Structure 1
Amino acid sequence: MVSRTEQTPVHATSFQADVLDTGAIHDELNRLWSELGGPPLGGEGSGEMVAETNSGGGGLMRANTLNLLAVARNERDAGLITASISRLQDFLPSRTIILITRPVDRRDSDNASLYDVHLQLNEQHIGTEAPPLRFESITITAGINKMGQLASLVSPLLAAELTDFLWWPGNDFVNNPLFEDLQQIVDRVIVDSAQLGNDASGVAAMRALLDEDDESSPRIGDFAWLRLAPWRQLIAQFFDPPDVQLCLSTIEEVTISYADVREDGSSGFASALLTVGWLASRLGWDIMDSLEKRRAGGWSAPLRAAATNGRSREINLRLLPDKSPFARFSLRHVEITAGGAHSGTFRVERTDADDMVTSSETPTVPFVSRMVYAKRPSNEKMLGEELQRFGRDRTFEEAITFATRLLL
């Protein structure tokens, strides 16, 4: 039986040019399609796939969904992009354009001015009887000195009438001229704020990506936010019982332990901030003072809960970097402590890549602990999920807005 995830290149061509001729690229793509025996065009409207009649009597299924534009600033990013796209399962881009920038070698001035172009048709088998689904990829490698021209050059390569996505997996999207240029030609942007590391100013700049006053500005997706899905779900489940919901109005302390350095070299700092932003925006908390560095390491800040019975309540927030070998993922643990008449302790902890442990105790509910299967999502899973999002995620936007205000 053929696997749904099996993808293989079926036709490809490569060339170098000192001028990027988009017309020549389209001609080459049409030639590759004609070699398969089908028409060069893949349909008029967007949809999940388009069936075409093969001139040889067979059938072709061509993806007609969206354009994916991805940028690699180094070999790591290039490998991540190609591997993730090759493993996509349920929602494939009609056309993927990968831009790779390379350092300029002054000793090789001839190649520094050239564009390397690689065009490829890929296919994915979707069943034993159905024809394979086919889609295009365009890879353009150029010197970093060409960055200022890339946005205007790739815009004509985006297939018409399809939604355009930009995926920037690296850590240099903040205040990057190429990123800012590409934002202007796409509908949705996908980043990973974990790649910003422990740079508070970089995370704070995430706020600039959200333009609430311009409905035509691209929507933002963040892999760090997707990784937090099981954390949000498990924390919310603590407070499902009506008697435990009362603890929400007496929370006194929130402690979040995050990976100082994740297994891929990034950090859990942004995830910790997003978790605070989610809690605060859902529960109506305000900022009393911005985050301050603690002498012992990490950050702290006082928050203010909405007034009840005429009195507001202060919440002590602590964000603690964990340098232990066990802290290889975004967050290590989240602990919420409630006091007063409705006291309780609620804790979620990740123990490995597949499992999380929750524990809670209140005066009315004795201590209980359970292990939950919560496998960390792969890059291709998160990319596939983001490629099926077209509207705004208000919860994420409110969380990142609160989180970045903490850093001002």
Structure 2
Amino acid sequence: MPDNYVTIKDIESLEEGISRLKHSGDGWGYTGMWRANQNTILIVPSTITQSEQDALLDSLCKVKPARYFVVELHPENTDLKFNVSARCHFISDEQKVCSDVIKISSVNTARVERTAGIIREHLVTGAHTDVVIANISSKLKGVLDPLILLGDRVIFDSTQINAIDIPLYLLRLAEEVIDLEWIRLSPWRGLIKNTFDIPAVLNSVNNISAIKIIEGVNHSHFPSLLIGGWILASLGLEATARTSGGFECIRHDGRIIKLEFISAPSKYSLTEVDFLFDSSAELNEIKISRKKAELCSIVA
């Protein structure tokens, strides 16, 4: 039988495991995993170790109890493997919340559609479904469509993805996309916004001549690109040309402003954002920087 067909054996194997797990929890007096009110599909590549996968799943179950479908991508040709288990965490001295975990292993590119069919049969009916992508390569773009289309939203971390076309692919495919790095950058956006609320800074917005973003060497470029794109959108700038170190941007009045990315030794992916002003401004420079894991703003 072709790899993309859902078999009776597939369904029976999972039904048996879920039933056994459910009955093993009877009498606990806790909130059981069979009461999960949402679904989460976690897609992990073969490059992630078992310990890394367990740590990720454990963290997710603590903050987001659900019925989890762990799809383990692997190029091997053995048939699909199923494992049903539970992860439980105490939320008080007397109450435990459990997530049932359905792991589907040996999912190669030919078995993605079959895997999506199996998951569809076992989703909590009428519940919200998230698709969490741990890390995927550009080679899988398009192949994972059946899995991604099962979700109401897609959650990923752009710092784990090396190709910029993956986020763009997800944005085209999913109704709602959440980038965890964008959330982590919220303190940067908040401090920049608060700094520009200062009257002297606000009065000098039209005098910005250049923007420099300092990023750590050997780190993901996505944090810098995300914060740079947000700054351009906030200031009404449009990137019109690529330069050796960044972009040439144009303002609504035709003025050219340079956006430059500079790499420097640092343990952080994003270390500093500088705004430079021309001679007619009330100030010369603004530095938003990370010092000892804290953000600070310097207006000079």
Separation in 1, partners of 2:98, 2:189: 37
Find the partner of 2:31 among 41, 53, 61.
61
Q: CA deviation at 1:77?
A: 6.0
Matched, 1:25 2:11: no
- Paired positions, count: 290
Matched, 1:251 2:251: no
Q: CA deviation at 1:337?
A: 1.2
Q: CA deviation at 1:225?
A: 1.1
| Structure 1 segment 50-129 matched on structure 2, within 5 A | 54=27, 59-62=29-32, 64-76=36-48, 78-88=50-60, 91-104=63-76, 112-128=77-93
Find the partner of 1:158 among 116, 123, 134.
123
Alpha-carbon contact 1:151-1:178 (below 8 Å) kept: no
Aligned-partner residue type, residue 125 of structure 1: F
Alpha-carbon contact 1:72-1:78 (below 8 Å) kept: no
Cα gap change, 1:27 to 1:175, in 2 (>3 Å): closer
**SS at structure 2 position matched to 1:282:** helix
Cα gap change, 1:342 to 1:89, in 2 (>3 Å): farther
Find the partner of 2:290 among 343, 346, 350.
350
Matched, 1:280 2:241: no
RMSD over equivalenced CA pairs, Å: 2.5
Gaps of 5+ in 1: 1-17, 38-53, 105-111, 362-408
Cα gap change, 1:206 to 1:271, in 2 (>3 Å): same
Separation in 2, partners of 1:342, 1:204: 41
Find the partner of 1:195 among 151, 156, 160.
160
Matched, 1:185 2:150: yes
Alpha-carbon contact 2:40-2:68 (below 8 Å) kept: yes
Q: CA deviation at 1:346?
A: 1.2
Alpha-carbon contact 1:68-1:93 (below 8 Å) kept: no
What TM-score do the two structures reach when normalised by structure 1? 0.65
Alpha-carbon contact 1:250-1:343 (below 8 Å) kept: no
> Partner residue of 1:302?
248
**SS at structure 2 position matched to 1:21:** helix
Cα gap change, 1:219 to 1:302, in 2 (>3 Å): same
**SS at structure 2 position matched to 1:288:** strand
> Partner residue of 1:9?
none
Alpha-carbon contact 1:70-1:81 (below 8 Å) kept: no
Find the partner of 2:24 among 20, 35, 45.
35
Q: CA deviation at 1:175?
A: 5.2
Separation in 2, partners of 1:80, 1:356: 30
Find the partner of 1:335 among 248, 267, 274.
274
What TM-score do the two structures reach when normalised by structure 2? 0.86
Q: CA deviation at 1:20?
A: 5.6
Cα gap change, 1:143 to 1:99, in 2 (>3 Å): closer
> Partner residue of 1:319?
261
Cα gap change, 1:240 to 1:89, in 2 (>3 Å): farther
Alpha-carbon contact 1:254-1:336 (below 8 Å) kept: yes
Gaps of 5+ in 2: 1-6
Matched, 1:210 2:171: yes
Q: CA deviation at 1:127?
A: 1.1
> Partner residue of 2:3?
none
Separation in 2, partners of 1:94, 1:29: 14
- Once the two structures are superposed, what CA deviation does each residue of 1:189-245 show, in whole Å capped at 9, x if it has no partner? 112222233xxxx3155334334xx9xx43111122122111111111211222321
Cα gap change, 1:90 to 1:35, in 2 (>3 Å): closer
**SS at structure 1 position matched to 2:30:** strand
